[in-house]
């Protein structure tokens, strides 16, 4: 008999990520979705990895063990090949440890000032790790390629969204609306790869 309610913790403190993931997971129905906001005493591990995968695994494993529950964690960021892959895994802290999105975008615009045309190509990457208290069960990757504008556009989204225009689109991720972003983003592509595993968890109960 399939059980209808398994608790799944989204192990992130980034409210934007949590909202996007929650909306994308909603159609699955059978999970009680929690986030780190439900565990105010939980202390996040330091993100010491040098790749998105290392950090996603580290965050998922640590949270699943500490909370004794199934967890998904993700590590994501923007990669600009023309500036040696910056900001990459340091996307959240590009302009410093507690940098705001505005400060990070400003640093990126400055670093890219001299770049034109194809040199403004970039991609978002997202790695999602699913873990139980026994360890990581699955780790998947999604990416989304586009161009970075020299000036911000739009008030939606978060992070580098006001600068990023996905190939084939005219609007930035901050102009496009969250429901469209959630259909075409790097996060969506990664999540789609983990859905079959989540479905099998629900069936196993
Ligand atoms: P958690 O570790 O608690 O999940 P975080 O924001 O620190 O939160 P990351 O270390 O994975 O997470 O950094 C992700 C950063 O990458 C995020 O802060 C943005 O700057 C950027 N980023 C990731 N996905 C993005 C998206 O969909 N749109 C815009 N920027 C994004």
Per DSSP, helices labelled H in the chain are 15-25, 52-67, 101-111, 178-184, 186-204
CA–CA separation, 142 vs 70, rounded Å? 21
Tell me whether residue 75 is one of the annotated catalytic residues: yes
Q: What percent of the chain has pLDDT over 90?
A: 90
Q: Which among 117, 47, 57, 116 is positioned nearest to 88, based on CA atoms? A: 47
Distance 32 CA to ligand 1 centre (A): 23
Residue-wise pLDDT for 92-128, tens only, equals 999 999 999 999 999 999 999 999 999 999 999 999 9
Do the beta carbons of residue 89 and residue 77 sit within 8 Å?
A: yes
What pLDDT is attached to residue 110?
98
From the candidates 75, 98, 117, 192, which is the catalytic residue?
75
What pLDDT is attached to residue 6?
84
Average pLDDT of 32-55? 95
Is residue 12 within 6 Å of ligand 1 at its C-beta? yes
Tell me the domains of the chain and their CATH numbers: 6-204 (3.90.950.10)
Q: Which among 84, 101, 83 is positioned nearest to 92, based on CA atoms? A: 101
Q: Tokens in use for 157?
A: 């989204």
Q: Tokens in use for 205?
A: 């109960």
Q: What percent of the chain has pLDDT over 70?
A: 98
Q: What is the rounded average pLDDT for all residues in the chain?
A: 95
Is the alpha carbon torsion for 169, 92, 82, 189 positive or negative? negative
Is residue 75 within 6 Å of ligand 1 at its C-beta? yes
Is residue 162 within 6 Å of ligand 1 at its C-beta? no
Residue-wise pLDDT for 148-198, tens only, equals 999 999 999 999 999 999 999 999 999 999 999 999 999 999 999 999 999
Distance 101 CA to ligand 1 centre (A): 10
pLDDT of residue 1 exceeding 60, the answer is no
């Amino acid at each position: 008999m399939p059980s209808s309610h398994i608790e799944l913790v989204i192990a992130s403190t980034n409210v934007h990520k949590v909202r996007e993931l929650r909306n994308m997971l909603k159609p699955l129905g059978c999970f009680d979705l929690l986030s780190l906001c439900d565990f105010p005493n939980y202390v996040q591990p330091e993100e010491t990895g040098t790749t998105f995968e290392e950090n996603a695994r580290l965050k998922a494993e640590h949270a699943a063990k500490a909370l004794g529950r199934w967890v998904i964690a993700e590590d994501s960021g923007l990669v600009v090949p023309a500036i040696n892959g910056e900001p990459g895994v340091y996307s959240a802290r590009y302009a410093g440890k507690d940098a705001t999105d505005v400060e990070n975008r400003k640093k990126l615009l400055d670093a890219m000032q001299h770049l034109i045309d194809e040199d403004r190509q970039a991609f978002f990457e997202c790695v999602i790790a699913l873990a139980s208290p026994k360890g990581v069960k699955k780790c998947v990757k999604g990416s989304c390629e586009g161009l970075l504008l020299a000036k911000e556009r739009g008030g939606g989204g978060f992070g580098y969204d006001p600068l990023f225009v996905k190939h084939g689109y005219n609007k930035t991720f901050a102009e496009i609306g969250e429901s469209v972003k959630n259909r075409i983003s790097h996060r969506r592509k990664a999540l789609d790869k983990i859905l079959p595993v989540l479905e099998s968890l629900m069936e196993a109960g």
